[in-house]
Every structure is written in structure tokens, then in C-alpha cells.
């Protein structure tokens, strides 16, 4: 069974600074997908960024980037130029299926607070 571990229950960062959220996972699969989801107080799950395991290049989406280390089974999220609107719970998630028709396995989450 796949497991996802987020070792930082809470983090804080000053506005405009950079913060990195950690995520490790365990799987015997070779092809899989990794995601970071954001859940603000509105509780809507919002996809932040995704990474295909077969791609060596790290994914980037504007201020968000990942450091994907497949051998180490590590998938950290870096948020640059942090903004107050980035305050939320962040969940790392894992999926095995190519099609997206299998469920996600989530880590326990990291609560990020951006401080003005």
C-alpha cells in the first residue's frame, strides 16, 4: 500500500519570503503521479501543482515549484514570494493510475500561515 508522509504539521512564513513544505512517500510502483493540493478555510480543494513520476524535470506553476527526488521518494513544494492568500492547509497526494480513475492517497497535511 502507498503511504504519504508530511512531517511538518504547521509552518509559517513572512510575506514575500520563500517556504518549502516537505513530503515523502512509499510505493513499489514505478509509474505514478504526485500532487500538492491547497485547502483554504473555504474547504475547497484546489490543485496547486502535479508531477508525473516518469518526468525528470521538476514541475513549476508560477510561484510554486517542486523538488522531485524519485530515488529518495521525496516531493517537496516550494512557494516563492509568499502571499497572504497562500495561507491554507497543504496536502501532498499520490495516485497510481494513468487515467486518474483511482483515488488519491493523502498525507496528513501542513498548515501554512503567511504573516504580514
Contacts with other proteins, residue ranges (CB under 8 A): 33, 42-45, 47, 50, 91, 95, 97-109
Structure-block grid coordinates of residue 70: 524519485
CA angle at 75 for the pair 86 and 31, rounded to the nearest 5°:
125
Tell me whether residue 12 or residue 18 sits nearer to other proteins (CB atom). Answer: 12
Question: Which stretch of DSSP H or E encloses residue 49?
Answer: strand 46-52
Tell me whether residue 99 or residue 116 sits nearer to other proteins (CB atom). Answer: 99
Rg (CA), the chain: 14
- Closest approach, Cβ 90 to other proteins, in A, equals 11
- Closest approach, Cβ 102 to other proteins, in A, equals 7
- Closest approach, Cβ 92 to other proteins, in A, equals 10
Structure-block grid coordinates of residue 90: 497543504
Nearest to 108 by CA among 5, 1, 2, 14: 5
Tell me whether residue 13 or residue 105 sits nearer to other proteins (CB atom). Answer: 105
Amino acid at each position: 500500500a502507498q503511504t504519504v508522509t508530511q512531517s511538518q504539521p504547521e509552518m509559517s512564513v513572512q510575506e514575500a519570503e520563500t517556504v518549502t513544505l516537505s513530503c515523502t512517500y512509499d510505493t513499489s510502483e514505478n509509474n505514478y503521479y504526485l500532487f500538492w493540493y491547497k485547502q483554504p478555510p473555504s474547504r475547497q480543494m484546489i490543485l496547486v501543482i502535479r508531477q508525473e513520476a516518469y518526468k525528470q524535470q521538476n514541475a513549476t506553476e508560477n510561484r510554486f515549484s517542486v523538488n522531485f527526488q524519485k530515488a529518495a521518494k521525496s516531493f517537496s513544494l516550494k512557494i516563492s514570494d509568499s502571499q497572504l492568500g497562500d495561507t491554507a492547509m497543504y496536502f501532498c497526494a499520490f495516485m497510481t493510475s494513468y487515467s486518474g480513475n483511482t483515488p488519491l492517497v493523502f498525507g496528513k497535511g501542513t498548515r501554512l500561515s503567511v504573516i504580514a
